Amino acid sequence: MQKIKQLMLVSISCLFFLTGCLESNILEELGIVTIYGFDKAEKENTLRATTVLFQFNPDITDASQIITSEGHTFRELRNNANKKSGYKIVSGQLRTVLFGPELSKEGIFPYLDTLERDASISDMVFVAMSTQPTEEVLTASNYEQSPNIGTYIQRLIDTAVRDERLISNTLHEFTRKFFEVGHDPLVPIINNYQDKAQISGLAVFQNDKHVGEISLEETFYVRLISDKFNSGQVEMKLPLKVLQNYLEEYEKVTTDVVYVVLDQINNRADVELSNPEGLQFRVKLDIEGRIVELSERIDLSNKKALEAIEKEINNEVVENLQALIQKSKELNADFFGFGKTYVATKHGKKITEEQWRDMYKDIQVEIDVKSRIRSYGIVE
Amino acid sequence: MKSLSVPKDNQIKAAYLIIAIHTVQVGVGIAGYPRLVFMDAKQDSWISIIITGLILSLVIACMVFILNTYKNQDLAGILCTAFGNIIGKFFSMIFVVYFLVLFLSVIINYVEFVQVFIFPKMASWFIGLLLLILVWYAVYGGIRVAVGASIVFFLSSIWMVGLLSKPISLIEVRNYLPIFSTPWKDVLKGVLISSYTFLGFELLWVIYPFIYDKKNVAKYSQFSILITVVMYLFITMVAIGYFSPKQLEQKVWPLLTMFKVISFPMFERFDILAVALWIIVILPNLILLAWMFSFTCKRAHGWKQKHCLVGLVIFSLGFIAIFDDRELINKFTDYTGQIGLVLGWAFPFILLPFAIKHRMKGKKKNAKN
Amino acid sequence: MKRKAKKTSKSSYFPCTLEQLEKDLKDGFFNSTPDFSKKTIEQNGQRIGVFFIHYMVEKDQIYKFVLDKIQSENIQWDTKLLDNEIPINNAKFRTECEEIGKDILRGSVCIYVEGDSDCITYGFPNILERTPSKAETESLVFGPKIAFTESLRSNMNIIHWRMDNSSLTSEKFIIGNEIPTEVRLVYLKDLANEENVNEMRKRLKNLETDDVLESSVLTQYIEDNSYSIFPQMYVTELPDRLCYELKEGKLSVLVDKSPSAVIAPINFFSFFESTEDLYTRWNMGSFIRLMRLVAMFLSVTLTPLYVAALTFHYEIVPTALLVSLGHSRSRVPFPPLLEALILEFLIELIREAGARLPTKVGQTMGIVGGIVIGQAIVQAGFTSNILIIIVALSALASFTVPSYLMGSAIRILRFPLIIMAGLWGFLGIFFSFSFLIIHVLKQKSLKRPYFAPIYPFRPKDLDNSIVRIPFLKSNYRAYSNMAKKTKRFNEPPNTKKKDIEE
């Protein structure tokens, strides 16, 4: 009996170790992709992918590699790329996907969907686009001290998002907005300027199709409504006329505008559907900030001066927001997410994406801004 | 059938029920649960969950009443007392099969996790073997080790809930609105779909004779249900806020997908770790179910518990080797849920009249004496 | 009178001639050893023989108290008179040759007046023992430094000095067929749990072996599960540790000829406690205890995590590390599993060599091994430099465990874990971890749960095992010790102020 037991134990453990031969991914044998750039190829229905990857070699300190390949599907692209590399190409360390201009116009969701389905790809991958062919962007040779262009672009976007200069657009957030009725994504545009990749603005997407652009400055106003600021920063142009009285005496006025820089901005936005039938929205906006820079000397210890500035800021915000909303209506891309509020407020039958697109042109938004300037630096 | 007298060394405190019942309930189901309930009840899923919780609380109360009536009896004993020896044994056999089915459904679902997320090429039976070795080793130590394992594993996995703070920071509040807009029929459908995920409380049937302070059973088992409900509610709510409605309907395992956004400075991707770590979440599940299976088997047939356990391990291994198709797994899970609806949820109420009768008889006897 | 009655009942060996006695003793016990000394005194026509082994007795004392006495007084001696005249207690009257032989072996001197019906033995044992010195394996920075020696006598002396408590009980057992060794079971009668005492007594009594070498060997004879890698009884060389545990209601076993004592029952977390935690302030003590637990955890997980991440789960490596890791790995010709095993093996070698060599050489060994080989091995591309850091860290971490046995257990545990990680990645790691947890849960120490304050869960015991709280607040003994009295002392009066200013 004892012998049989021993025999069983030995055979089971043998089996154990024999079947243990798994497909391994040993780090230095991999080509680790950090960024993909997808473009349309010349041939019909084919894609061109620019793959930036790490390949580790003891003798070469620069581990970065760039491979372009063509194919119909994501798998095929990867397999074709693998033909040009001695390393097994894997995308578990993917940080950014970049789409070229034509693809963005046609819709990028099919490609994102394949990425989403791959369990090895993180949901924190940034989705970005470029108005130039991606190969041009990814072959830019200046990527600071980053190990390769992929990590550089990721850092570029990540820093901007953390500084609240951008609206985060990860794979998860993009698909979320794509599936949501009444919310459209904004995608950062990365372009190559003088051999260096830079953020040049935000692309407005209608679902997954690129329809327009807004500037980085305008992003601030989108964020005011659709996101939260913890310590944002903005520069505003206010007319000098109203503030004329509060100027320090020694100041000689040469312009008719004054630039104000606010930082440490906190905001609170309440979007509500005030009239469902008339599609009227009311946005209540509370902004709190701190003046750090003024282009002209204004006596800030004067309460009235502050009030006047606050009032001007309110006007400026409302003006800018209305212009942006107008723009979004023209593009018919609801990047503020008014539709989301509409869906959340209205009971009864759910509306579809198309219905909301039809309705969106007719919405009216009333904006009510209250700004407050907390303190203004260490010098009065 | 004789009532059980458990030696004091083998008895456990009723307080352990809080975690033991909770850990049998929470397992593979929780990873896919938010989606299932959302498909029916939409943003009003929380109503479904609370209703399920209330019903469950009633079921547990009913079970405790029955168990208190037949003192020191486990399920097999009660069945035999209520229905007579032959029918009773037949019914306990059904329960044995039911426990087996629950056990298998947990194991094949976990195998699928591993294959999808980390090791697509790992053989199903091999992952099963790893699990079964642990189950065998733990159940061999008896009920104390089984409960101990459930407690230690619970303590070493509960911190994962805290990691959801990252998905919580990405929640879109408007996803919860408007409330009360789902028709009642759909909410009730959500209740029905929840029944599978909440299964496992049948542990109480079997573990009852082992409990040292029986008067606290009602309190602690209800408490355990509360924890489970709160946990499901929490995870479902986070999932609903985190995903947009259509997106959630596409995710097979929303919980694991939510882990995909978590990263630490030294640890870029938590989801890979989470799937492997999930072994700790499902082990108590498997261990307690295997214990329930082997013990009830022993009680119903007088077979040795050891042999029942070995039988279970060998059978499961074969089963896992055959079952590795996703369609089949889903079907199997559905059937398990339906069986559970009868044997888990409805059965206590079927047994209730017998218990009342038994209690009346006991009272009459007392009166005569 | 009793003696006489006894004598008549047996067919006595005595009387005999001195030569006969000498011959019998030599043949029967000492195999004609040259160390057997005999001195014959002829006086008044009497022949008196004095027998002993010269290095087993205090010779000076024999000359002073026995030989001097006999020679100086000119009287007719007999056994009784000897007993009266010689000013030493514990005289034993022997009538059997065998008994005399055993006495002489234990350092006694035998005096026989020829022709008498019995003989007398006195114990003058000359036990060579080390004076108690500083603890070596469990050294403390803070607190008493004295350690046990190899002599049971002085160990008991130390314990009694430290604990002048009337309930301190010690029971004597003689264990070993070939080499009988004295074993003492020591506990405080007022505190120690009866069941524990009975269990330990039973185990000691039923133990049948040829020889108990050492107390750590004794634990291997009487522990609950011989197949586990974890020690189930605490072996310590610190009297203060022992006395602290006795005071907590535990038992201890001391073995003669062994410089360490056994403490039981014990739980898993006791192996991470040191008395130093008690001597430092409570917050420092808690921190250090938690740190040790974390260190143990890291020591067991770090290398396997490295192996698993580099073999299967490249996704989890942070980008910042990825490049440097990839670079240093690309030189290495082995898969991560082999790389880690080689390095772990090397570290174990250095440790073992350092332990076997004399202290001075051992230190040099450490430096040579650590710095020179470490440097060379990376430059030669044998391992990646990050692995060196990880392995060194986990080796260091394993040395923070106060118990040498537990530390070794942890170091050895790493190897199967590394192999599992290399075979099946994270799944292998968590499989092993689950296995370990179940294994620890199944262990018992003297039939008491081994994983105590966690399972069975006793939140009130946490302060006596995993953390520490101020002494005034922890006036209860750990419940899992099952001491007879759980209260250490009465609660101090509440001195909390009702308001800020009063």
**Tens-place pLDDT, residues A178-207:** 998 888 999 999 999 989 999 999 999 998
Q: What is the C-alpha to C-alpha distance for residues B191 and B46, in angstroms, rounded to an integer?
A: 10
Helix (H, G, I), strand (E, B) or coil at C355: helix
Helix (H, G, I), strand (E, B) or coil at C322: helix
Residuewise pLDDT in 10s, chain B (369 residues): 566 778 887 889 999 999 999 999 988 888 889 999 999 988 899 999 999 999 999 999 999 999 998 888 888 888 888 888 888 888 888 999 999 988 998 998 899 888 888 888 888 888 999 999 999 999 999 999 999 999 999 999 999 999 999 999 989 888 888 888 888 899 999 998 888 888 889 999 999 999 988 899 999 999 999 999 999 999 999 999 999 988 999 888 899 999 988 888 888 888 888 888 999 999 999 999 999 999 999 888 888 999 999 999 999 999 988 877 778 888 888 888 888 888 888 889 988 988 888 888 888 877 766
For chain B, the maximum distance between any two Cα atoms, rounded to a whole number of angstroms, is 74
**Weakest-pLDDT range from A240-254, C140-154, C457-471:** A240-254
Taking a C-beta distance cutoff of 8 angstroms, is the pair C161, C193 a contact? no
Q: What is the C-alpha to C-alpha distance for residues C175 and C188, in angstroms, rounded to an integer?
A: 22
Dihedral of CA atoms B245, B246, B247, B249 in degrees, nearest 10, equals 90
List beta partners, residue A262. A234, A291
Residue of C53 and C221 predicted with greater confidence: C221
**Residue A380: which pLDDT band, with cuts at 50, 70 and 90?**
low
Please indicate if any CB of chain B lies within 8 Å of the CB of A175: yes
| Beta strand ranges found along A7-106 (DSSP E) | 30-40, 47-55, 64-71, 88-90, 96-99
What residue type is B255 in one-letter code? L
What are all long-range contacts of B325-328, with beta carbons under 8 Å and residues at least 24 apart? Answer: B326/B112
A194: left (phi over 0), alpha (psi -120 to 50) or beta: left
Confidence at residue C7, expressed as pLDDT on a 0 to 100 scale: 41
Q: Which domains, from first to last, does chain B contain?
A: 29-352 (1.20.1740.10)
Q: What is the C-alpha to C-alpha distance for residues C46 and C179, in angstroms, rounded to an integer?
A: 38
Taking a C-beta distance cutoff of 8 angstroms, is the pair C384, C339 a contact? yes
Residue-wise DSSP of C388-443: HHHHHHHHHHHHT-S-HHHHHHHHHHHHHHHHHHHHHHHHHHHHHHHHHHHHHHH-
Q: Which residues of A touch B271 (CB under 8 A)?
A: 119, 122
Q: What is the C-alpha to C-alpha distance for residues C401 and C405, in angstroms, rounded to an integer?
A: 9
Q: Give the mean pLDDT of C367-376.
A: 81
Would you mind telling me the total number of residues written for chain A in this entry? 380
Q: Which residues of A touch C424 (CB under 8 A)?
A: 20, 22
Q: What is the C-alpha to C-alpha distance for residues C423 and B277, in angstroms, rounded to an integer?
A: 17
Q: Which residues of B touch A180 (CB under 8 A)?
A: 244-247
Closest listed residue to residue B138, CA positions, set A66, C230, C431:
C431
List beta partners, residue A71. A47
Taking a C-beta distance cutoff of 8 angstroms, is the pair B121, C414 a contact? no
CATH 3.30.1490.100, applies to A219-373 = no
Taking a C-beta distance cutoff of 8 angstroms, is the pair C93, C118 a contact? yes
Tokens (6 digits) for B3: 């009532």
For chain C, the maximum distance between any two Cα atoms, rounded to a whole number of angstroms, is 103
Domain residue limits, chain A: 27-214, 219-373
Instruction: Tokens 């007594």: give the residue.
Output: C201
Taking a C-beta distance cutoff of 8 angstroms, is the pair C177, C234 a contact? no
Would you mind telling me the total number of residues written for chain B in this entry? 369
pLDDT at C351 > cutoff 80: yes
A82-A88-A90 Cα angle (round to 5) = 95
Q: What is the C-alpha to C-alpha distance for residues C343 and B73, in angstroms, rounded to an integer?
A: 57
Confidence at residue A98, expressed as pLDDT on a 0 to 100 scale: 93
Closest partner residue to A22 among B122, B175, B178, by Cβ? Answer: B122
Q: What is the C-alpha to C-alpha distance for residues A330 and A211, in angstroms, rounded to an integer?
A: 10
CB atoms inside a 10 Å sphere around CB C353: 15
B164-B168-B172 Cα angle (round to 5) = 150
Dihedral of CA atoms C266, C271, C277, C279 in degrees, nearest 10, equals 60
H/E element holding C286?
A: helix C282-311
H/E element holding A164?
A: none
For chain A, the maximum distance between any two Cα atoms, rounded to a whole number of angstroms, is 106
Taking a C-beta distance cutoff of 8 angstroms, is the pair C387, C334 a contact? no
Would you mind telling me the total number of residues written for chain C in this entry? 502
Closest listed residue to residue C424, CA positions, set C332, C315, C337:
C337
The DSSP secondary-structure symbol of C242 reads: H
Helix (H, G, I), strand (E, B) or coil at B332: helix
Domain residue limits, chain C: 2-123, 152-266, 290-449
Q: Which residues of A touch C (CB under 8 A)?
A: 17, 20, 22, 24-28, 30, 32, 34, 54, 56-58, 61, 63, 90, 92-93, 95, 120, 122, 147, 151, 154
Taking a C-beta distance cutoff of 8 angstroms, is the pair C286, C468 a contact? yes
Q: CB neighbours of C306 closer than 8 A, spacing ≥ 6?
A: C336, C340, C386, C387, C390
Question: Helix (H) and strand (E) counts for chain B?
Answer: 17, 0
* CA dihedral over C90, C91, C93, C96, signed as positive or negative: positive
Q: Which residues of C touch A24 (CB under 8 A)?
A: 311-312, 335
* Closest alpha carbon within chain B to C441: B145
* ipTM for the assembly: 0.94
Closest partner residue to A175 among B117, B119, B247, by Cβ? Answer: B247
Q: CB neighbours of C215 closer than 8 A, spacing ≥ 6?
A: C235, C253, C254, C255, C258, C260, C261, C262
Please indicate if any CB of chain B lies within 8 Å of the CB of A176: yes
Instruction: Tokens 């003793």: give the residue.
Output: C25
Q: CB neighbours of B197 closer than 8 A, spacing ≥ 6?
A: B25, B29, B30, B33, B36, B232
Instruction: Tokens 């559970």: give the residue.
Output: B340
Taking a C-beta distance cutoff of 8 angstroms, is the pair C174, C181 a contact? yes
In angstroms, the Cα distances linking C406 to C216, C240, C437, C480 are 13, 20, 15, 21
Tens-place pLDDT, residues C239-258? 999 999 999 999 999 999 89
As a whole number, the mean pLDDT across chain A is 86
Tens-place pLDDT, residues C30-78? 765 778 888 888 887 788 888 888 888 888 888 888 888 888 877 788 8
Closest partner residue to C323 among A24, A58, A147, by Cβ? Answer: A147
Give all chains having 3 or more CB-to-CB distances under 8 Å with chain A.
B, C
Contact B117 A16 (CB under 8 A): no
Closest partner residue to B261 among A19, A124, A177, by Cβ? Answer: A124
Tokens (6 digits) for C264: 């039981």
Residue-wise DSSP of B21-38: HHHHHSSSHHHHHHHHHH
In angstroms, the Cα distances linking A180 to A104, A175, A351, C5 are 19, 8, 11, 109
Closest listed residue to residue A26, CA positions, set C339, C320, C427:
C339
Q: Which residues of B touch C479 (CB under 8 A)?
A: none
Tens-place pLDDT, residues B188-201? 999 988 888 888 89
Please indicate if any CB of chain B lies within 8 Å of the CB of A92: yes
Q: Are strands C46-53 and C108-113 parallel, antiparallel or unpaired?
A: antiparallel
Closest listed residue to residue A224, CA positions, set A267, A191, A280, A260:
A267
How many Cα atoms are found within 13 Å in the side-chain-facing hemisphere of B265? 0
**Residue C10: which pLDDT band, with cuts at 50, 70 and 90?**
very low
Contact C325 A54 (CB under 8 A): no
Contact C438 B266 (CB under 8 A): no
Q: Which residues of C touch B148 (CB under 8 A)?
A: 441, 451, 455-456
Tens-place pLDDT, residues B228-278? 999 999 999 999 999 998 899 988 889 999 998 888 888 888 888 888 899
C425: left (phi over 0), alpha (psi -120 to 50) or beta: left
